[in-house]
A and B are shown apart, each in its own frame.
Chain A
Amino acid sequence: MINVKHLTKRYVNIAAVDDISFDVGEGEIVGLLGPNGAGKTTTMRILTCFMPATEGVATVAGYDVFTDSLNVRQQIGYLPENVPLYLDMRVKEYLMFRAKLKYIPRRERKKKIDYCLEMCGISDVQNQITGTLSKGYRQRVGLADALVHDPKILILDEPTIGLDPNQIRQIRQVIKDLGQKHTILLSTHILPEVEMICDRVMIINKGKIVAMDTPENLMKQLKSSANVVLEIRGDGEKIKDSLSNIGGVRSVVWKEKGDASEFVVEAAGDKDIREDIFKCIVKDNYTLREMKRQTVTLEEIFHQITTRETEGDSDNA
């Protein structure tokens, strides 16, 4: 449904989006994950025809975003980052205006709007001026607007930002439900969100896609090179040397911890080194107090991938 090839957007001094390519298939929910300034919003603005790319092609629902922009815009529902609304209108009036703009036939407007009000849980505030709504409710109005013409594709820029935990739960459920009928591209910095609702994740950093996979695979991929944390009594330097000599260990970091030392051992590749470590410790007669494998969350993957720039081996899909 969304097809992006070698897309680049350059501002005067930086490339906000730098040669990215990806596809989003029909019915998929894809999360665009990245730190501040990664280029998420820029990518979405290009896909929604708000601004042009410097280079590259993007097609949405089969239409080119540059040459066929009106058709693209008819097919998408877009929730911009800060949910801009006309603050002087009532919720229902606003949705009515948007429905007209999106060419919903007069007879269907009321039905569609009522459906969206219901879906986004804003039926109660439909006669309130949008300017007096709380941030979370504005977010919902924005979502209702994105949905109102029943678009094939939804592009949601940080849909849950600024919501309280309950509302986040609700909105996530709404998005998940929508995913049954729509193709969704959403951006976020919140990792559990991606784990929960996305079929696929793209991690983007400094305008480049650094990883793209299902949330499970990403975690598996990195778990294999997971760290082992040890607490051992004995001479720290010596222990470090013996640990470093185990085959398959990439690095060892240690620090004093009370009368013992704490070691973080990183394995190279997907080898499980715990048994080797244990044998090594027994052989050299140290006292092992604790050994645990650091469970890798998407949080850490995100951190690792987005801060690992000196190493050139990013996991490009």
Chain B
Amino acid sequence: MRNVSTIFQRELASYFFSPIAYVVISVFLIASGFFFAGNLQFWQEASLKGSLDSIQFFLLLLTPVITMKLFAEETKSGTIETLMTSPVSDFDVVFGKFLAALSLYIVMVLPTWIFVLFLTIFGNPDFGPIFSSYIGLILMGGLFVSVGLLVSSLTKNQVVAAVIGIVSLIILWVVGFLSKYGEGWFYETLRYIGTYDHWESFTKGIVDTRDVIYYLSFTALLLFITVRNVESRKWR
């Protein structure tokens, strides 16, 4: 456990040494700002309605770009060898990297509060759904980051990691979305697995423990699989 913070600090610092973090954050803010303005005009209402869905979509595209390097780069450059032969546990490495990427994700999402500020200046927004949405965004971030982290630990090619990460997240999203169009246990399962449904209730101002548990447990499961995958080097 002691090394989690050491890994975390290095990873976070390295994000700011490379242009990727700045590029991703700028792209995200420009795109979401654009859609915020569009949605505002469309709904004519002081809320983040619509904007949040587009924000979610950009996060889905951009989070794997944040996470793509986490393991792939180390495997490719060989630094994984120095890292894994120093006295750190696999969990420390995985969790430290997870926290660093999640922090960057939060850094990326937080400036969207400007939109909220904007709403309060020109209107009278209902803060309930806004707060709950941000709780949802962060929980969802944990899930997205852990998907990207797992994918990054499976390949040494960063581009492949990003692409597979994006595809996985889209599938996870679409699966939940499709569940709207049917009944029965199958659609019920899809609905549970997919992120869409869980996310939706946050945007309505509901923080349901079941949704919180869904995000946390799914994230934990993915982190667990990643640790096992990193470990697998040792018994292959």
Contact = CB atoms under 8 A, between A and B. Distances in A.
Interface string B58-80: 00000000000000000001111
B89 interface: yes
A86 B14 contact: yes
Interface residues of A, number: 29
A198 B94 CA distance: 39
Interface in B201-236: 233-236
A97 B2 CA distance: 13
Contacts of B235: 52
Interface of A: 45, 48-52, 66, 69-70, 73-74, 76, 78, 80, 82, 84-89, 97-98, 100-103, 142, 145
Contacts of B3: 100-101
Nearest to B233: A51
Interface residues of B, number: 26
- Main secondary structure, interface of A, reads loop
Interface of B: 2-3, 6-7, 9-10, 14, 17-18, 77-89, 233-236
A88 B14 contact: yes
B234 A51 contact: yes
B10 A85 contact: no
- Main secondary structure, interface of B, reads helix
B79 A84 contact: yes
A85 B89 CA distance: 20
A101 B234 CA distance: 20
B89 to A, nearest CB: 7
A143 to B, nearest CB: 12
Contact of A98 (B9, B80, B84, B86): B86
A98 B87 CA distance: 10
A73 B85 contact: yes
- Which 9 pairs across A and B sit closest by C-beta, in order of nearness? A84-B78, A88-B17, A84-B79, A73-B87, A48-B85, A74-B87, A100-B6, A80-B81, A101-B86
